[in-house]
C-alpha cells in the first residue's frame, strides 16, 4: 500500500515541479522588466539634469551623421526654401535687371572699340551691399519669429552644421545671381576685344565680396527676430564700409587703416586681375569673424 502511494505521489511531485518552473521563469521575467522600468524612472531627464537656478546650463548634444552630410542637408533645405516662395525669383530678377540696365543702357562696356566689363563689375559691387542683406535677412530671423529655431538647435546636429548650412544655402542664391551674369561677357566679347584676365579676377572678387556681405547678414539675422530690421542693419553697416574709401580725405592719418577696412578697395584690386594674398585674407577674415559671432549668438540662446 505504501509502495503504491509513493508511486502515485512521485508523478504528482514531478508535475508540480514542471508547473512551477515556467511560473518561476515568468516571475523572473516580470522582475527584470520591473527593474528596467525602475532604472529608466531613476535616470534624470535632460531638464532635471540642468543646474538649479534661473539659467539653463549647456545642453550636451551629439550629432547623427557626418559633418558634411548634415551641413549639406541643411544647406540644400535653406537654398530650396528661397524658391518655395517668391523671394528667390524676385532677388535674381531684380539683380539681373539692375545690372543689365546699368551696363547696357549707357553702352559703358564699349571704350573706343574695346570691350570692358569694368563698368559691370563696378555696378555689381555697388549692388552687393543691397542684394546680400536681402538674401541673408531671413536665415535666422525667420526661424526666431516662427519659433522653429529652438527646435532646430535641439536636433542632433552641431551649431556649426546649422550655421554653415544656412550660410552656404544663402551663398548659393547669391552665386546663382552672379553666375547668371556670365552671359554678359560672352555677349560683349562679340562686340569688341575682351581681356579675359580682369574678367576672371572680377568674378573672383565679386564672389569673395558677396560671401563677406552674406556672412555679415547672417550674423545680423542671428541677433534679431525681424527680417526687416536685419536687412536695414546689414545694409546700412555694409554700405558705410563700402563707402569708406570714397571719403579718405576726411580722415587724415587714419586713411590707410580705413582703406584696408573697405571691401571695395580689395575688390577693385582683384578685379584688375591681380590676386593679392592680403585681399584674400581680408575677405576670409570678415567671413570667419561674422560666422563666429553667429555661433556666439546661438550659444547664448541655450543659456537664456
- Give which of 220, 223, 201 is closest to 212, Cα–Cα: 220
Residue 56 within a domain: no
How far is 206 from 192, CA to CA, in rounded Å?
Answer: 23
- At residue 198, the pLDDT reads 85
Same domain, 123 and 247: yes
Which of the pair, 32 or 121, is modelled with greater confidence? 121
Same domain, 248 and 175: yes
Same domain, 20 and 122: no
Q: Residues 228-233: contacts with CB within 8 Å, 24+ apart?
A: 228/137, 229/141, 230/133, 230/136, 230/137, 230/138, 230/141, 231/133, 231/134, 231/137, 232/133
Q: Which residues contact 115 (CB under 8 A, 6 or more apart)?
A: 109, 188, 189, 191, 192, 193, 194
Same domain, 33 and 122: no
Same domain, 34 and 71: no
Chain segment 229-240, per-residue pLDDT in tens: 999 999 999 999
Q: What is the bridge-based pairing of β-strands 114-115 and 193-194?
A: parallel
Same domain, 39 and 71: no
Lowest mean pLDDT among 24-33, 40-49, 275-284: 40-49
For 110, the enclosing helix (H) or strand (E) is: strand 110-111
Q: Does residue 98 register a pLDDT over 70?
A: yes
**Could you tell me the pLDDT band of residue 106, with boundaries at 50, 70 and 90?**
low
Phi and psi at residue 233, to the nearest 5°: -65, -50
Same domain, 87 and 208: yes
- At residue 64, the pLDDT reads 65
Mean of pLDDT values over 146-170: 85
- At residue 194, the pLDDT reads 78
Are 222 and 190 spatial neighbours (Cβ–Cβ below 8 Å)?
A: no
How many angstroms from the chain centroid is the CA of residue 153?
A: 13
Residue 123 within a domain: yes
Mean of pLDDT values over 66-92: 91
Are 120 and 103 spatial neighbours (Cβ–Cβ below 8 Å)?
A: yes
Find the domain containing 111 and state its range. 67-301
**Of the ranges 9-13, 35-39, 208-212, which is most confident?**
208-212
Lowest mean pLDDT among 100-109, 186-195, 236-245: 100-109
Q: Does residue 14 register a pLDDT over 60?
A: no
Mean of pLDDT values over 232-251: 87
**Of the ranges 51-55, 249-253, 287-291, which is most confident?**
287-291
Q: What is the number of structural domains in the chain? A: 2
Q: Does residue 151 register a pLDDT over 90?
A: no
Phi and psi at residue 110, to the nearest 5°: -110, 120
**Percent of residues, the chain, with pLDDT higher than 70:** 73
Residue 49 within a domain: no
- At residue 289, the pLDDT reads 96
Same domain, 39 and 126: no
Mean of pLDDT values over 178-188: 86
Which of the pair, 300 or 212, is modelled with greater confidence? 212
How far is 121 from 233, CA to CA, in rounded Å?
Answer: 24
Measured CA angle at 36 (ends 35, 37), to 5 deg: 90
Q: Does residue 204 register a pLDDT over 60?
A: yes
Same domain, 113 and 81: yes
Same domain, 160 and 282: yes
Residue 57 within a domain: no
Are 100 and 71 spatial neighbours (Cβ–Cβ below 8 Å)?
A: no
Are 123 and 205 spatial neighbours (Cβ–Cβ below 8 Å)?
A: no
Residue 55 within a domain: no
Cβ atoms within 10 Å of 168's Cβ, excluding its own: 19
Same domain, 218 and 287: yes
Amino acid at each position: 500500500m505504501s509502495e503504491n502511494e509513493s508511486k502515485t505521489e512521485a508523478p504528482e511531485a514531478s508535475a508540480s515541479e514542471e508547473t512551477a518552473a515556467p511560473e518561476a521563469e515568468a516571475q523572473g521575467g516580470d522582475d527584470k522588466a520591473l527593474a528596467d522600468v525602475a532604472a529608466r524612472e531613476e535616470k534624470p531627464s535632460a531638464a532635471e539634469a540642468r543646474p538649479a537656478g534661473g539659467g539653463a546650463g549647456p545642453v550636451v548634444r551629439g550629432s547623427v551623421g557626418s559633418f558634411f552630410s548634415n551641413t549639406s542637408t541643411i544647406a540644400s533645405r535653406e537654398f530650396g526654401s528661397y524658391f518655395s516662395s517668391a523671394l528667390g525669383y524676385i532677388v535674381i530678377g531684380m539683380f539681373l535687371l539692375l545690372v543689365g540696365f546699368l551696363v547696357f543702357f549707357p553702352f559703358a562696356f564699349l571704350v573706343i572699340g574695346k570691350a570692358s566689363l569694368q563698368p559691370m563689375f563696378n555696378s555689381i559691387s555697388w549692388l552687393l551691399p543691397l542684394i546680400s542683406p536681402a538674401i541673408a535677412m531671413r536665415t535666422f530671423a525667420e526661424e526666431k519669429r516662427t519659433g522653429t529655431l529652438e527646435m532646430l538647435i535641439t536636433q542632433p546636429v552641431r551649431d556649426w552644421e546649422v550655421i554653415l548650412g544656412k550660410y552656404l544655402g544663402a551663398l548659393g542664391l547669391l552665386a546663382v545671381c552672379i553666375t547668371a551674369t556670365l552671359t554678359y561677357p560672352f555677349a560683349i566679347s562679340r562686340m569688341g576685344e575682351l581681356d579675359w584676365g580682369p574678367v576672371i579676377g572680377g568674378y573672383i572678387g565679386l564672389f569673395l565680396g558677396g560671401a563677406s556681405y552674406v556672412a555679415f547678414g547672417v550674423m545680423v539675422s542671428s541677433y534679431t527676430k525681424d527680417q526687416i530690421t536685419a536687412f536695414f542693419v546689414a545694409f546700412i553697416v555694409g554700405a558705410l564700409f563700402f563707402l569708406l574709401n570714397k571719403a579718405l580725405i576726411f580722415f587724415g592719418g587714419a586713411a590707410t587703416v580705413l582703406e584696408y577696412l573697405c571691401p571695395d578697395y580689395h575688390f577693385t584690386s582683384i578685379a584688375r586681375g591681380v590676386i593679392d594674398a592680403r585681399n584674400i585674407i581680408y575677405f576670409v577674415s570678415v567671413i570667419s569673424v561674422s560666422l563666429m559671432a553667429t555661433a556666439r549668438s546661438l550659444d547664448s540662446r541655450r543659456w537664456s
